[in-house]
Amino acid sequence: MSSISHYGQLVEHAVRKRGVSLTELALELGVNRRTIYNWFEAPFLKSNVIYRIGISINHDFSVEFPHYFTAEMFSNERMRTSNNANTNNTASGDWKNKYIDLLEKYNLILSSMHTRV
């Protein structure tokens, strides 16, 4: 195990080393950014939180937390399945943003038509 024994610091180190956006991670895990920061500050974390983060960032936490996990728990198949699901979530997020942009443009056109009348 690393010289860092603080669970949150170990997880933060792995996340930052991977260069993962905290906004994207929070979105993927269904939490807000403040929750991510709270986890980073926590001396202890539940194993399911660490596991979810590991799968999301494609990191095997069995090295840092051998008492919680085995390498098989972070197998390539599990991570590949998770990453495919995340790609689908990103695609639906793109459609949402396009829809919002379209609505904003539509509202601008309506308001400009209303001021001309």
| pLDDT tens string 24-38 | 999 999 999 999 999
Tokens of 11: 């997880």
AA letter at 29: L
Residue 83, pLDDT > 60, answer no
- Rounded alpha-carbon distances, angstroms, from residue 24 to 16, 35, 89, 106: 13, 13, 11, 29
> Cα dist. 82→40, 78, 86, 105, 108 in Å?
22, 6, 6, 35, 39
Total Cβ atoms within 10 A of residue 53: 22
Are residues 22 and 56 in contact, defined by beta-carbon separation less than 8 angstroms? Answer: no
Token output for 54: 């590991």
pLDDT band at 43 (very low <50, low <70, confident <90, very high): very high
Amino acid identity, residue 6? H
In order of their start, the domains of the chain are: 7-74 (1.10.260.40)
Q: DSSP 3-state assignment of 19?
A: coil
Q: Is the pTM higher than 0.75? A: no
Q: Interior CA angle at 29 toward 24 and 34, to 5°?
A: 75
